[in-house]
């Protein structure tokens, strides 16, 4: 009898602890991202969040829900108000359309599934998610980055070739972050062609990505496009959005207005061509060829010509 009473007491205490861990109920409207959200909407959003998001993101929105341990990458800590994928400049607050795209589409290669949240519940859920971070009570969403027309439609092969040169020679994507996908001599040539600069040395592990610091409390490994899933989608338009906007809280900067629009789209097509190699013998063959390409070194400054084999 005493044992049953103890079990019951512990169960009641457990429920009480869980309730104490929950965020307080809303009693007044909140202004979130410059928009006033009613108590009814926030409380409805809480109920929707509990059903869809709480197991991973937790009662507090801290990314420490019951399903979170062991998940890689870990669920987002919503209290930070920092978001990776949005059609605004990296570091700015996303638009509601960005939330919709992430919720409905999910994030590839993560535990964030595509959720078919009913239209009548979606907006209240988004507003409730915002309530976890004080940023939303002080700031408004960033300016929307609108894609231009893709100039490489119908001539994708040319876009891929231009993108290869931009990736390795102009944007220098492989200098400190992403892997290189061409030989050292090609990088030397592309860099000189597009910037008039010359490459004198290459970092160690040039054909592998480099883990970078982030605002999420852990290092992030930039994707190897021939191996990793692209979180925000791998269609050229998705890749363009990620390149143009950058990735919030990471070392990936905003490239909009830094590179010309044709080059942004060319990069998108080139990355897409690498994604097409993922999991194929061609990807393994490319890597083997590049890793074994150790004979070439940049010519001395006064050589005047590129060194060959």
Model confidence at 19: pLDDT above 80: no
What is the helix, strand, coil percentage profile of the chain, to 5? 40, 5, 55
Please answer whether residues 96 and 85 qualify as being in contact, where contact means their C-beta atoms are separated by less than 8 angstroms. no
Q: 173 to each of 13, 14, 251, how far by Cα in Å?
A: 54, 51, 11
Model confidence at 304: pLDDT above 80: no
Instruction: State the pLDDT confidence band at 264, using cuts at 50, 70 and 90.
Output: very high
Instruction: State the pLDDT confidence band at 21, using cuts at 50, 70 and 90.
Output: low
Record the pTM: 0.87
Confidence (pLDDT) at 295: 78
Instruction: State the pLDDT confidence band at 9, using cuts at 50, 70 and 90.
Output: very low
Superfamily of domain covering 24-138: Cytochrome c-like domain (1.10.760.10)
Checking DSSP bridges between strand 30-32 and strand 35-37, what pairing results, if any? antiparallel
- Residue ranges, comma separated, of all CATH 1.10.760.10 domains in the chain are 24-138
List strand residue ranges (DSSP E) for the chain, in order.
30-32, 35-37
Please answer whether residues 140 and 33 qualify as being in contact, where contact means their C-beta atoms are separated by less than 8 angstroms. yes
Angle of CA points 94, 174, 168, to nearest 5°: 100
Domain 156-291 in this protein, CATH class: mainly alpha
Task: Please list the residues that pair with 31 across neighbouring strands.
Answer: 36
Write the pLDDT tens digit of every residue in 200-243: 888 889 999 999 999 998 899 999 999 998 999 999 999 999 99
Distance of CA 56 to the CA centre of its chain: 18
Model confidence at 10: pLDDT above 80: no
Tell me: cis bond preceding 73? Omega within 30 of 0 counts. yes
Residues with Cβ within 8 Å of 201's Cβ and at least 6 positions away in sequence, in order, are 298
Over its C-alpha atoms, the chain yields an Rg (Å, rounded) of 24
Write the pLDDT tens digit of every residue in 84-101: 999 999 999 999 999 999
Q: What percent of the chain has pLDDT over 70?
A: 91
Task: Please list the residues that pair with 212 across neighbouring strands.
Answer: 220
Instruction: State the pLDDT confidence band at 302, using cuts at 50, 70 and 90.
Output: low
Confidence (pLDDT) at 3: 43
**Size of the chain in residues:** 309
C-alpha span between 283 and 280 (Å, rounded): 5
């Amino acid at each position: 009898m005493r044992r049953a009473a103890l079990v019951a007491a512990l169960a009641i205490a457990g429920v009480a602890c869980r309730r104490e861990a929950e965020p307080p109920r809303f009693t007044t409207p909140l202004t979130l991202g410059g928009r006033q959200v009613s108590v009814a909407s926030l409380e409805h959003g809480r109920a929707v969040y509990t059903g869809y998001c709480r197991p991973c993101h937790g009662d507090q929105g801290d990314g420490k829900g019951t399903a979170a341990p062991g998940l890689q990458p870990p669920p987002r800590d919503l209290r930070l108000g920092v978001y990776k994928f949005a059609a605004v400049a990296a570091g700015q607050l996303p638009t509601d359309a960005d939330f919709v795209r992430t919720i409905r589409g999910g994030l590839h290669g993560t535990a964030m599934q595509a959720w078919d949240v009913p239209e009548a519940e979606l907006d209240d859920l988004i507003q409730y998610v915002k309530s976890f971070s004080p940023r939303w009570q002080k700031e408004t969403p960033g300016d929307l980055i609108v894609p231009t027309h893709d100039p490489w439609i119908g001539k994708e092969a040319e876009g891929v070739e231009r993108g290869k040169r931009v990736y390795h020679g102009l944007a220098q994507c492989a200098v400190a972050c992403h892997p290189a996908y061409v030989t050292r001599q090609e990088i030397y040539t592309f860099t000189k062609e597009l910037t008039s600069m010359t490459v004198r040395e290459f970092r160690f592990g040039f054909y592998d990505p480099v883990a970078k610091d982030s605002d999420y409390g852990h290092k992030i490994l930039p994707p190897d496009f021939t191996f990793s899933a692209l979180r925000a989608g791998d269609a050229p338009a998705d890749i363009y959005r990620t390149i143009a906007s950058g990735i919030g809280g990471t070392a990936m900067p905003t490239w909009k207005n830094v590179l010309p629009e044709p080059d942004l789209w060319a990069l998108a097509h080139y990355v897409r061509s690498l994604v097409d190699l993922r999991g194929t013998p061609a990807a393994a063959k490319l890597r083997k060829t590049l890793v074994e390409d150790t004979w070439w070194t940049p010519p001395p400054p006064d050589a005047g010509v590129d060194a060959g084999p």
